[in-house]
Amino acid sequence: MQQVFTKAVARNIFLGSAAFFLAIYLVLTWATWRAIPRRDHAAAMTPQVVAGKYLFDTNDCQGCHTVNGEGSYFAPELDNVYTRRGPAFIKAWIAAQPTGVPGRRQMPNFHFDGQQLDDIVAYLKWLSKVDTNNWPPNIQG
C-alpha cells in the first residue's frame, strides 16, 4: 500500500487544524468575556480613588513601582501595600521622603497635602481589592 501526501491531504490537514484552533480560540474568548463582569470593580471607583489614580499616574509612580506586575522593579509592588502597611504608615512614609538613609533607594518628596495623601491611600486601598489571581505570589510583592 502506497501512501501519498498530496496537496489535497495537506489542505485538509491545514483546514482541519485551523478550524480546531479557531474553535479553541472562540471558547477561550467566550470564557474570558463571561468572567469580566464578575471581576470588574471599576464601578466602585469613587471620585477620591480616581483622584488618587490621577496623582499616581501624573507623578509617574509606576516609573519605580509595579502595579499588577507592570511597571518598574526599582521599588516595591504596590498591589498589597495597603494590606501590608495600612493607611497611617503609607501617609507617613510618603510625607517623610527622602529618608536620607545612606545606601538606600530614595523616593522623592512630592509635597502632597493631606487631601492628596488621602486620595493616594484611597487608590491603594482600591488597588488592594483587585482580583489579581493571587499576584504577587508573596506578601512582600
pLDDT digits (tens, 9 = 90+) for 55-75: 999 999 999 998 888 888 888
Q: What is the mean pLDDT of the chain?
A: 88
Q: How many CB atoms lie within 10 A of CB 136?
A: 16
* 99-119 pLDDT tens trace: 888 888 889 999 999 999 999
HSE-CB at 73 with a 13 A cutoff on CA atoms is 4
Q: By the 8 A CB rule, do 130 and 41 touch?
A: yes
Q: What is the dihedral of CA 122, 92, 89, 46, to 10 degrees?
A: 0
Q: Quote the pLDDT of residue 35.
A: 81
Calculate the CA 5 to chain-centre distance.
49
Among the listed residues 127, 110, 122, the one whose alpha carbon sits nearest the alpha carbon of residue 46: 122
**What pTM does this model have?**
0.72
Q: What are phi and psi of 140, to 5 degrees?
A: -80, -10
What's the CA dihedral at 45, 49, 51, 53 to 10 degrees? Answer: -100
User: How far, in Å, CA of 47 to CA of 65, rounded?
Assistant: 23
